Amino acid sequence: MPSVAFYTLGCKVNHYETEAMWQLFQKNGYERVEFDSKADVYVINTCTVTNTGDKKSRQIIRRAIRKNPDAVICVAGCYAQTSPAEVLAIPGVDVVIGTQDRTKIIEYVEQYKRMRQPINGVHNIMKNRVFEEMDVPTFTDRTRASLKIQEGCNNFCTFCIIPWARGLMRSRDPKAVIRQAQQLVDAGYKEIVLTGIHTGGYGQDLKDYSLAMLLEDLEKEVSGLKRLRISSIEASQLTDEVIDVIDRSNIIVRHMHVPLQSGSDSVLKRMRRKYTMAEYEERILKLKQALPDVAITSDVIVGFPGETEEEFLETYKFIEKHQFAELHVFPYSKRTGTPAARMENQVPEEIKERRVHRLISLSDRLANQYTSRFEGKELEVIPEGVYKEDAKGTFLEGYSDNYIKVVFPGSEEMIGQIVRVKITKAGYPYSEGKWVRVLDDLNDHERLVINQ
């Protein structure tokens, strides 16, 4: 049996697509082996979001070539899409595929084996207007299933290279989304995370269909789906219609990741983000009104070119005022090829670092405040794995619907199930709890009664 090994760099979407490519290899009789072992085919799914992503991708490619110089080396993903010539110039690279035509990977590998000629399968991504359908009915090692619903982004924020790597917005056919969701539920997943490059933009390119409609249809048509999470949604995409669907839903979780990037209108303008702080604020207040316990998490870029102390403080105060449940803080890093990399007034590294620390301490404080609201309460947690095993027994870790990481004593059979856990000690990065019952044997009516 021929063997294949994968290495994935970057985001959740890349991880999803690695699974999709693995499905294709599996159907063609391959076995999957660890990346560090000797394989017949290596697939490196690359990332290009920062300059370091490119460098790391090159290192991994070289590592695969060293492992087995006779293997077929395939390089896929964002870095391959933006710099195919650079990738092909690495001696030992055999097949390059970007962020489309991944369904042809087996064909390319076979062709390479016959002809022994390097293959460049990368084409202009900007011309592509169709979502590439790839089946992922199960995941290799996860308890939470992702479901990719869209590709690409039309926004062209000034710091971001992603539209050049992924192309323009393409939504997956709603019927395919629902079919895939049902397959995932049938495979035993309790929670599905809708993912994409610009997930909340789903439907923008579809006629008479929207994200709100997809959310409703998933709840109506997928039997047995217990939890539905949206990986990320822009404030402007939290329309009244979407908030209304979330409010009425029994399965959409009380957690929204709403990228902020900056809390200052002047910085947002330089970033070419498409909202003002007043608009962002209005949307999240509306969301909180509908779901008072919602956890709002966000991404913030610190030290964007020209960011003054005043602009930084506007961001800081906004986050403090709205009590975000957790922040992902990134120091601005120049991405070659983007307008922001060429801007003047780049912020010195030490200032960026100080600002990053201030925001991380704020995030820690707010996260503790948020979780403390749930001390003594019961939450539904899906354990994802073993946190530790010691003399006191096995401790599991997992996330509640509102994205609190909870550690509690339990048994391995609970992994992947919905477990009702009482929070005994709230904290961050994790809270401690004690399980009350496994909800799996309950029917939906019983679940509802317990939830009320």
Residues that bind ligand SF4 (CB under 6 A): 153, 155-157, 160, 162-163, 197-198
**Token code pair at residue 168:** 């323009």
Residue 301: partners with Cβ closer than 8 Å, 6 or more residues away:
159, 261, 262, 271, 330, 331, 332
Residue keyed to tokens 């959409």: 252
Looking at beta carbons only, is 62 or 272 nearer to ligand SF4? 272
DSSP H or E stretch at residue 213 = helix 211-221
Task: Give me the least distance between CB of 50 and ligand SF4, in Å please.
Answer: 12
Q: Which is nearer to ligand SF4, 200 or 383 (CB)?
A: 200
Nearer Cβ to ligand SF4, position 153 or 253? 153
| Residue with smaller CB distance to ligand SF4, 99 or 371 | 99
Q: What is the closest distance, in whole angstroms, from the C-beta atom of residue 4 to ligand SF4 in the complex?
A: 29
Closest contact distance (angstroms) between CB of 160 and ligand SF4 is 3
- 65: its two tokens: 């070539």
Is 236 or 323 the residue whose CB approaches ligand SF4 more closely? 236
Q: Which residue, 198 or 355, is less far from ligand SF4 as judged by CB? A: 198
Shorter beta-carbon distance to ligand SF4: residue 157 or 407: 157
What SS3 class is residue 434?
A: strand
Q: Half-sphere exposure (CA, 13 Å, Cβ side) for 261?
A: 25
- Least distance from ligand SF4 to the Cβ atom of residue 11, Å: 10
d(CA 292, CA 290): 6
- Phi, psi (rounded to 5 degrees) for 172: -80, 145
Q: How far is the CB of 30 from ligand SF4 (least distance, A)?
A: 32
Among candidate residues 235, 154, 250, the one with its CA nearest the CA of residue 200: 235
Nearer to ligand SF4 among residue 109 and residue 157 (C-beta): 157
Closest CB 154 distance from ligand SF4, rounded Å: 8
Long-range contacts of 383-389 (CB under 8 A, 24+ apart): 383/143, 383/408, 383/410, 383/414, 383/415, 383/416, 383/417, 383/419, 384/142, 384/143, 384/144, 384/415, 384/416, 385/143, 385/415, 386/412, 386/415, 387/430
**CA distances for 109 relative to 42, 45, 246, 281, 421, angstroms:** 10, 15, 44, 50, 48
Q: In the complex, what is the shortest distance from the CB of residue 217 to ligand SF4, in angstroms, rounded to a whole number?
A: 25
Closer residue to ligand SF4, CB minimum distance, 159 or 408: 159
**Complete DSSP assignment for 395-430:** EEEEEETT--EEEEE--GGGTTS-EEEEEEE--SS-
Q: How far is the CB of 158 from ligand SF4 (least distance, A)?
A: 9
The beta strand positions in 315-392, using DSSP E, are 326-331, 378-390
Pairing of strands 255-257, 191-195: unpaired
